[in-house]
A and B are shown apart, each in its own frame.
Chain A
Amino acid sequence: MDTNNQNAVKGVGDWFRWHLSKFVVAPSFLMILFFVYGFILWTGYMSFTKSKMLPIYNFEGILQYVKLWKQPTWLASFENLFVFGSLFIAVAIAFGCILAIFLDQKIRGEGALRTIYLYPMAISFIVTGTAWKWILNPGSGIEKLVQSFGFENFEFDWLVDPDYAVYTLVIAAVWQASGFVMALFLAALRGVDGEIIKAAQLDGASISRIYMVIILPTLRPVFLSSFVILTHMAIKSFDLVVALTGGGPGNASWLPANFMFEMTFRRNQIGQGAASAMIMLATVLAIIVPYLYSELREKKHG
């Protein structure tokens, strides 16, 4: 098509028509250039200034980063991300994988079950947080429920315990996301070649062996993409913390996104907010870039 058009170039009208495609892409591209790349540079620059309540544009070097890594609240937020992220990812993948394998056993009512497992993904994290806050609240939720069954000494107060609040985030986040992981795994299971499995069965391999040796390895790409998606979700987690624990007790359950928001909009520490945002971006890129790279390479070779 390119060459056809090129031969046809005559006058301004044709020049315009030939370049029309570029003109159409231009607004979107310029918007992204400005609002994504420009803004990242802007935030990046801000992280090298002493901005507090208002942006200041004098370059001051890595000062903010040095300060950031000395701040106990930032270190705690980052540690929380590590604890929350690894548990959330591991449990969501385990749940998703198990549910998908079990749902794939000719289950009666599979459609209804799938709907039930997946609907949390349609809901806002704020709603999820509000609901689980009620369920995990010692005065109204599970603790009260079990006590009313007669176990009066039962205690379940993670939500208000600084050492355990971060685990309540895991409970709610897994609830929200694991059905989605299930959907990814189920789609991949349905795509596994039945012939290989039949052959293995004829050879007398047991079901568990077929799963361990044949099926799970073919699901490797799903493990990988679930891992990347869930990591991405974990790093971006913000709303859930706000609604479920409020970052508390105190700031025991802050994640980096909450730190960034507080510093930028509440505590007049714009420089710290910008520096923490850049660290978040770097963390995401450290995971996404190798993944995309391997994906693209596989496509070229495959």
Chain B
Amino acid sequence: MADSIAFTSDRTLWHRIGRIGIYTLLAVFAFYYIMPLIVIVSTSMKDLDEIRTGHLLSLPAQINLDAWTFAWSEACIGVTCTGLKPYFWNSLAMAVPAVLISIMLGAITGYALTKFRFRGANVIFAMILFGCFIPFQVILLPMATSLGYLGVANTIPGLVLVHVVYGLPFTTLFFRNYYVNIPDDLVKAATIDGAGFFTIFWKIMLPLSLPIIVVTIIWQFTQIWNDFLFGASFTSGGNQPVTVALNNLVNTTTGVKRYNVDMAAALMTAAPTLLVYIFAGRYFVRGLTAGAVKG
């Protein structure tokens, strides 16, 4: 479409002014989006004197990573001064199993709901899908009580359970919508050849699922890693995920306020999902549009 309406037909003065206007506006917006990242990175490399004397956009005199090591292993989060490190591992220990389990469940459920459709399958799918829309506030209190009953209150496995349950509607949606477009004939032929339910899933469906698996992994990982609400509601002390720890670090008021450490910690918290975005941006966007248009 760009071809047909781009302002290329007449090379007048107005056209050129228009192009300059467009590029200027796009550049202004690019500045708005990129500026906070530059500020985070450059502030994290300044020492406190530089921060005091300089301003937002002044660059550090030299690359100084003291604040990074401090944020990683020494900074105080509440009353314990362990740095972000243990919380970072908490997040990883929470995200990896939660992503894997929710994806396996979503894949097999999506498969059963599309390729071995039973009566009421669509109703069941619609009921599962409803989980994408609820504001989580409405389940916080029962969940806190139930985690206590189950004996996993304030533990990483408890958080894994929470993320699996509330990630499931999204993973089911992704896989179901993907499998709906895979021809039924494929499954029929395999059934005639004598292949069973699980054989068809392993041998035929999964090998075809790579793109949607990647999209779902990225979506789930981003959601779970960035979660704050569940972490803040269901964990305390040393079991908190990194987002909660970052917030506590920033709001810990004992001693001198080290803004460079705050920024270094923010950068570390953002790093995993940023890296995913940089290296798999295409899939990330696809997941966003697929997940969010429906959710």
Residues of A within 8 A of B (CB): 1-2, 4, 17, 19-22, 24-25, 27-29, 31-33, 35-40, 42-43, 46, 55, 95, 98-99, 102-107, 113, 115-135, 140-142, 144-145, 148, 175, 179-180, 183-184, 187, 189-194, 197-198, 201, 207, 210, 225, 229, 232, 235-236, 238-239, 242-243, 246, 256-257, 260-261, 264-265, 270, 273-274, 276-278, 280-281, 284-285, 288
Tell whether, in the assembled complex, residue B197 and residue A175 are in contact, meaning their CB atoms are under 8 Å apart.
Answer: no
Which residues of chain B come closer than 8 Å to A180, judged between CB atoms? 288, 292
14 pairs, CB–CB < 8 Å, chain A vs chain B: A20-B116, A29-B109, A36-B131, A40-B139, A95-B29, A105-B22, A124-B273, A144-B55, A179-B33, A183-B289, A239-B229, A277-B137, A284-B133, A288-B133
CB distance from A118 to the nearest CB of B (A): 7
B 201-238 to A, binary, CB cutoff 8 A, 1 in contact else 0: 00000000000000000000010011011001100000
* 10 nearest A-B pairs in the assembled complex, by CB-CB distance: A21-B116, A124-B226, A122-B277, A239-B228, A39-B142, A39-B139, A42-B142, A277-B137, A131-B36, A21-B112
Which residues of chain B come closer than 8 Å to A183, judged between CB atoms? 285, 288-289
Tell whether, in the assembled complex, residue B135 and residue A235 are in contact, meaning their CB atoms are under 8 Å apart.
Answer: yes
Tell whether, in the assembled complex, residue B139 and residue A130 are in contact, meaning their CB atoms are under 8 Å apart.
Answer: no
Q: Which of B2, B184, B276, B285 is the one whose CB lies under 8 Å from A106?
A: B2
Which residues of chain A come closer than 8 Å to B168, judged between CB atoms? 28, 31-32
User: Chain A: interface secondary structure?
Assistant: helix
Which residues of chain B come closer than 8 Å to A55, judged between CB atoms? 141, 145
CA distance A15 to B169 in the complex (A): 28
CA distance A125 to B232 in the complex (A): 13
Tell whether, in the assembled complex, residue A236 and residue B135 are in contact, meaning their CB atoms are under 8 Å apart.
Answer: yes
Which residues of chain B come closer than 8 Å to A121, judged between CB atoms? 288
Tell whether, in the assembled complex, residue B56 and residue A29 are in contact, meaning their CB atoms are under 8 Å apart.
Answer: no
Which residues of chain A come closer than 8 Å to B3, judged between CB atoms? 106, 194
CA distance A10 to B205 in the complex (A): 27
Q: What class of interface size applies to chain B in its complex with A? A: 35 or more
Which of B62-70, B73-81, B151-159, B245-253 makes up part of the contact surface?
B245-253
Which residues of chain A come closer than 8 Å to B51, judged between CB atoms? 140
CA distance A198 to B233 in the complex (A): 56
Q: A134-B262, A144-B55, A285-B133 are in contact. List 15 more A-B contacts (CB 8 A).
A: A21-B197, A25-B113, A28-B106, A35-B166, A40-B138, A106-B6, A122-B276, A126-B226, A131-B37, A140-B56, A140-B259, A145-B55, A229-B293, A265-B144, A281-B138
User: Chain B: interface secondary structure?
Assistant: helix
B1: Cβ under 8 A from any A Cβ: yes
Q: Which of A2, A25, A198 is the one whose CB lies under 8 Å from B4?
A: A198
Tell whether, in the assembled complex, residue B143 and residue A284 are in contact, meaning their CB atoms are under 8 Å apart.
Answer: no
B256: Cβ under 8 A from any A Cβ: no
Tell whether, in the assembled complex, residue A24 and residue B228 are in contact, meaning their CB atoms are under 8 Å apart.
Answer: no
Tell whether, in the assembled complex, residue A190 and residue B246 are in contact, meaning their CB atoms are under 8 Å apart.
Answer: no
Tell whether, in the assembled complex, residue A277 and residue B135 are in contact, meaning their CB atoms are under 8 Å apart.
Answer: yes
CA distance A183 to B287 in the complex (A): 12
